[in-house]
Structure 1
Amino acid sequence: MALPWDFHPIEGERVRLDLLRDDDLDDLYALQSDPEVCRYLLYEPRSRERVAHVLARDAAAARLESPHDYLQPAIRDRDGRFLGTMYFELHSVDPDRTAEIGWILAPHAQGEGYASEAARLLLGLAFEELGLHRVYAELDPRNGASVALCERLGMRHEGHFVEHMWLKGEWTDTGHYAILEHEWAARRA
């Protein structure tokens, strides 16, 4: 594995993954305080103070080296506008080489392919640069947009855990999707 890995911006055709910055607070707050955006997330809409704390914490996450190290880069368009965030956490380094991926996109940016491109950039990092074996996503299966994104990325539906967690006053299911290094390589060929 190519660890440690220190964050540097990752460029795509239409998006750039970059560290969160202090001036992202308004956009991040708009995202994380929106009840519709938070509907399928693990948290309720957040206060501005909570988002400021999260921003400071996640902006400092810039190195992957050990299990539970994570990145939460901003997704930006070519003009630098904030579109959302990605999530990438190492879960195992040796011997399993596994990570989790996730995304949150601002409502105005949904349906334009930005999340697909950003996720492909992180999967490229995972498999082509870091040498990971497996990347997975866990999500609420009612979130059709995230399910469709997993499928577009070539992730396989591995499981559906019924009433897996008590969340926001109800039992919720968890969907599990994953892609392996050789599956990613075959898609890229």
Structure 2
Amino acid sequence: MLAPDYPITTERLLLRPIDVERDLEDLHAYLSREDVCRYIPPVPKDRDALRESYAAWKRPSVLRREGEVLCLGVEHRDSGRLIGDVVLFWHSKEQRSGEIGYAFNPEFHGQGFATETARALLGLAFDGLGLHRVTARVDERNEASARVIERLGMRKEAVERDAEWFKGEWTTLVHYAMLEDEWR
């Protein structure tokens, strides 16, 4: 089980559960953009659709069993703005495996926020949940995301050509992983 004490603090950020009413404008600032949604499952949404989708999917702030997903907002400590969101998937209790993912407002790209946040997610996965292996999957065209994953020390393990029919086209996925002893 993983029940973090929120907010989770990093040098410049707070990771916390998303409050759709409080965070709606900041969520809309990036999740309404085609360039942000290009490589992630959500499609661009207007404010009403975002509010509805966040209200419909109850995002747990605690992981109790495999198969659950922790979704957190990333708040910039100085401005109080939500600048992105992250997910930690708990795939298997027996295999002690999980996966991380993230999306950020392009206004905040290039400042190390994604790396700082993903490092905190790996800490939750390995130190908090006790996982043995954490993966990340990146569309090969998303070079910025791959650089973040590589800066964390995750190793490229596989490239799957035309692996997934995604948003009307075949996409090639690059798989990265880190083991618990590599994290330590």
Partner of 1:50: 49
Corresponding letter in the other structure for 1:121: A
Q: Which moved more, 1:60-69 or 1:152-161?
A: 60-69
* Percent sequence identity over aligned pairs: 42
**Counterparts of 1:162-173 in structure 2 under 5 Å?**
162-173=161-172
Q: How far does residue 58 in structure 1 lie from its aligned partner after superposition?
A: 5.5
Q: Is 2:12 the counterpart of 1:19?
A: no
Instruction: Identify unmatched segments of 5+ residues in structure 2.
Output: none
Q: CA deviation at 1:54?
A: 2.9
Matches within 5 A, 1:99-178: 99-178=98-177
> What is aligned with 1:10?
8
Corresponding letter in the other structure for 2:41: L
Looking at structure 1, the residues matched to 132 and 26 of structure 2 have their Cα atoms a distance apart, in angstroms, of 34
* 1:88 counterpart residue number: 88
State how far apart, in whole Å, the 1-side matches of 2:27 and 2:73 are. Answer: 9
Relative to structure 1, the CA distance from residue 134 to residue 81 in structure 2 (aligned partners, 3 Å threshold; closer, same or farther) is same
Q: CA deviation at 1:50?
A: 2.5
The answer to which of 165-174 and 107-116 deviates more is 165-174
CA RMSD of aligned residues (A): 1.5
Counterpart AA for 2:25 = D
> Within 2, Cα distance between the matches of 1:5 and 1:34?
32
Q: Deviations over 1:90-148 (max 9, x none)?
A: 0011x211111001010111110111111111111111122110111112111001100
Q: How many residues are treated as equivalent by the alignment?
A: 182
Unaligned runs of 5+ in 1: none
Secondary structure of the residue aligned to 1:17 is strand
| Structure 1 residue 38, shift from structure 2 partner | 1.1
DSSP-derived class of the 1:49 partner: helix
Q: Which amino acid aligns with 1:82?
A: L
Tell me the distance in 1 between the aligned counterparts of 2:117 and 2:83: 10
Rounded Cα–Cα distance in structure 1 between residues aligned with 2:134 and 2:2: 18
Q: Per-residue CA shift, 1:3-22, capped at 9, x if unaligned?
A: 15256221011111011112
**TM-score normalised by length of structure 1:** 0.90
Alignment of 1:68-87 (within 5 A): 68-79=67-78, 80-87=80-87
C-alpha separation in 1, matches of 2:142 and 2:82? 22
One-letter amino acid matched to 1:5: A
Q: Structure 1 residues 46 and 180, CA, compared in 2 at 3 Å: closer, same or farther?
A: same
Please state how far the C-alpha of 1:61 moved relative to its aligned partner: 1.6
Verify the 8 A CA contact 2:91 2:99 in the aligned structure 1. yes
Q: TM-score, normalised by structure 2?
A: 0.92
